[in-house]
Structure 1
């Protein structure tokens, strides 16, 4: 395998070379660090949540939901609900790829799926509902049309019947 660039979006070909069967619109690679291990010498469960969060922030920046630079105009982004499946353990020094995409949306919220792949197989999966709030936290913020366009064009989300 060729060098895997860490913390940089991977092309579909790089994803396939790593063992991801069906490339996703956004994939980020990294490596398990010693500090992420538990006493049993495998990755601690909380590390997966941190990895998913880091990939989500990259996704939000990549898509244009938030740059995390202007609290006065950018939405507050909150997780309403999340569900994780730990499918296989991971160990020190393993390379992994985190896949992220939107899979459904409503007016001010969307469902996001994420997966962690290592060694040619899925190791963990996370599904969460993200809600956009007004910058001051006073009520929900509708998902901007440009973000919906991204969901359709790149993530493959089907248009809602009542969507513009």
Structure 2
């Protein structure tokens, strides 16, 4: 199913097959002593880039690149320092030239933020979108969010 994600539903970390951990940094805090809202975009970027740039996964064909064209963030709970976070990522949709990612940030078992983003595959020279290759689609298979499968 290539259904839209309910951004208000409470996510479960186990539904996201790609995971990594990170530390909340003191520099992530704002004057209210919690993680600044803009920092969450960096957490989500870390998850996407760490997955997509790993050559072992074959998600960036030669001569092509990914650009993010949309990012929606749902702030769910306050996050403070010091802490360790768990990040999860799952694919929730394919477009003709794009992939939609659902992502989460958890701390101490609680979802503190979730996001949905769209990345488009482009030609590095022309900077124009190109259709997803069969190989890229197949290489994303292991990263489908639980409950989502390609149509």
TM-score strictly above 0.5: yes
Return 5+ residue gaps in structure 2 as ranges: 1-11
Structure 1 residue aligned with 2:124: 135
Whether contact under 8 Å (2:65, 2:123) holds in the other structure is: yes
CA distance in 1 between partners of 2:28 and 2:96 (Å): 37
CA distance in 2 between partners of 1:27 and 1:35 (Å): 23
Residues 124-161 of structure 1 deviation map (CA, whole Å, 9 limit, x = unaligned) = 0110111111111342222222221133344254233x
SS at match of 2:48: helix
Whether contact under 8 Å (1:76, 1:137) holds in the other structure is: no
Q: With structure 2 as the length reference, what TM-score do the two structures score? A: 0.80
After superposition, the Cα gap between the structure-2 partners of 1:36 and 1:154, relative to the gap in structure 1 and judged at 3 Å, is closer
Higher percent of residues as strand: 2
CA distance in 2 between partners of 1:116 and 1:56 (Å): 13
RMSD: 1.9
Structure 2 residue aligned with 1:158: 149
CA distance in 2 between partners of 1:137 and 1:90 (Å): 41
- Indicate the structure (1 or 2) with the bigger Cα radius of gyration: 1
Structure 1 residue aligned with 2:19: 27
Structure 1 residue aligned with 2:29: 37
Q: With structure 1 as the length reference, what TM-score do the two structures score? A: 0.75
Aligned length: 136
Return 5+ residue gaps in structure 1 as ranges: 1-19, 68-72
What's the CA shift for 1:96? 0.5
CA distance in 2 between partners of 1:154 and 1:50 (Å): 20
